Structure 1
């Protein structure tokens, strides 16, 4: 939904989830989802996409003269299952001692910092990325390849390793991603989170019939929840001074030169108070707020949304069909259910086994969500039309 808001801005160049290309399909892929399905990788059109290639495409967008806003998923930059990270060969990862040269030179972004990433993925220069984690009902977005059988990892996420990983390259101390800090620090990161009780069931739904035939995700993989990766990337950026220490909404006056506030948006807060949250967000990223950003109901708006979301079919149906972002009323507000009520609801919808899988994944990710939530932007409610 946040990407729909910023796609209304004609002064922005919006890029939707580009790093999934390299993460799932390319020669440096970190995911094993399509490891056993070379045909799916080829059909995707991204089987040659390295991480450097993705950055190069982003850089080309910056050359068009507009500020770039990138929405992406943080865990696309980190090896799954907490496997050790080393720098992607195409991004200049130095070969490990005793290992031959294993990749191209640095091809990353070289522009200055002017962008942000919402939800924690590297943004294109001059943009932001609305990251990650379960902010959109799933933590990991899918793919347009349809009709292939099981994707190559099992229900519980114990999968074969992709042939491309681990890389024979050196790691950067403390860096949980395959992207050099020198590239990461060029971007203005902001973060979007969603409670696992909402995001995990929504993602699970995308991996079972009938929707899996649209998404091309034929099994549920808990490692794609992404909360652990987002927390570790966030902590790394914070420890290096690339975000914080100031927290959006909690500091007075101006930030010291070069400091970027911690701007963490919780999806429930956004849905309850879109005017207040988006206005505050715009302030943090140096952009004028226009209430018209919360409406996208023209033919041009809908065509743009369909183009942006086409690559990850089935994951963004609600966003494609939406036309505005208004405060939730009491009828549609977020009434917290008990654990027992949640379990019963999931059992009715997904069966006993599905409910069990969802519950285990939700519970495993709540601690990371609550940690990130402690940094969330808090602003007074602002009614539509209120000055």
Structure 2
């Protein structure tokens, strides 16, 4: 992990962003990449340092769900050790994970003032007595975050949120185990929080400053050579929008490879359905489309619908009350999505 291009690649995203299809592209490079599928979710949902309230509690159902997962002892430290071990296989590590697993959710006691996970801070204790990370909004030390080469994947919340809602209701939730929808799991706020922190600390670099009201098209599309000589292309901000990925997969993947130091090969865009997807089993029901896919090809039809048409579809599928929840959740996350989209890779 000396050269930046040798650091593990960390694709940070939010739920239902087409990220598993994106991940499958890099799973084709099994000879030189070791892909880890959402490893931090183990600690976030199930372990003793869990931040999520989804499986929280000392009642039998909560304890049973955590133990049934097989990850009830997972800590953030054990996940980091897993990543480190994977990097010793002579392959570069490629991680796809949710940014919300690293940033306390809105219903957690440390929401406004994050504390480091106790397993990565030996002197700390959890639930009120943790080490304050005054400027760090995540539960990992900056020194740990600097070990990764970050990239970001986003999708319009009016597409991602209803897709996530569907995973939390019958019949699909019998597979996913997510028995109800939680709006604060949409993940856009946490993704932006992580992005802005990494930008502020220089872990990723890109003009203009995120405080600028509206970056010019030319400055927001310079995801190529460094402009000031202080950092290489491998430190530049890399944000992929799912819509552009689906429209131009070859061009977007090729640009991503260029920015992350991976040798591009067109064969990466094709694979065998259901091949090598064993790691997806821990999140059954969420990845069935990606598991059954055989490649990433430009979509031939792109649905363009008005807000009214979207709402009508949601009402028909989920009912009026649920459609309202979906619409509000999507709207609440639109500002963060639009902010991140300003930095997207354009080809």
Give the alignment partner of residue 224 of structure 1, picking from 169, 185, 205.
185
After TM superposition, give the deviation of residue 251 of structure 1 in Å: 5.2
- The structure whose residues are more often helix, as a share, is 2
Q: Which of 150, 154, 163 pairs up with 1:193?
A: 154
Q: Which 5+ residue runs of structure 2 have no aligned equivalent? A: 1-20, 208-218
Q: Which residue of 2 aligns with 1:90?
A: 119
Structure 1 distance, partners of 2:220, 2:93, is: 21
User: What corresponds to 2:66 in structure 1?
Assistant: 41
The answer for the alignment partner of 1:9 in structure 2 is 29
For the 8 Å contact 1:243–1:262, the answer to whether it is kept is: yes
Over 3 Å counting, the alpha-carbon distance change for 1:253 and 1:236 in structure 2 is closer
Question: What secondary structure does 1:304 align onto?
Answer: coil
Q: Which runs of 4+ in 1 moved over 3 A?
A: 246-249, 251-259
Answer yes or no: is 1:374 the counterpart of 2:345.
no
TM-aligned CA deviation for residue 166 of structure 1: 3.2
Residues 1:348 and 2:323 are matched in the alignment: no
- Counterparts of 1:314 and 1:333, CA distance in 2: 25
Map 1:24-35 to 2 at 5 A: 24-35=45-56
Q: Which residue of 2 aligns with 1:62?
A: 87
Correspondence 1:262 to 2:237: yes
2:295 counterpart residue number: 324
Q: SS of 1:302's equivalent?
A: coil
Question: For residue 274 of structure 2, what is the aligned residue in structure 1?
Answer: 302
User: Could you say which residue in structure 2 is the equivalent of 1:272?
Assistant: 247
Alignment CA distance shift 1:334-1:261 (3 Å):
farther
Q: Map of 1:272-291 to 2, 5 A cutoff?
A: 272-291=247-266
Is 1:333 matched with 2:305?
Answer: no
User: In 1, Cα distance between the equivalents of 2:112 and 2:318?
Assistant: 31
- Count of matched residue positions in the alignment of Structure 1 and Structure 2: 304
Unaligned runs of 5+ in 1: 96-101, 103-164, 380-387
The superposition leaves residues 210-249 of structure 1 with CA deviations (integer Å, 9 ceiling, x where unpaired) of 0111000001001100100110110000000000125785
Select the structure with the greater relative contact order (CA < 8 A; seq sep ≥ 6).
2
Matches within 5 A, 1:128-147: none
CA RMSD of aligned residues (A): 1.6
Contact 2:224 2:259 in 1 (8 A): no
Q: Displacement of 1:84 after TM fit?
A: 2.2
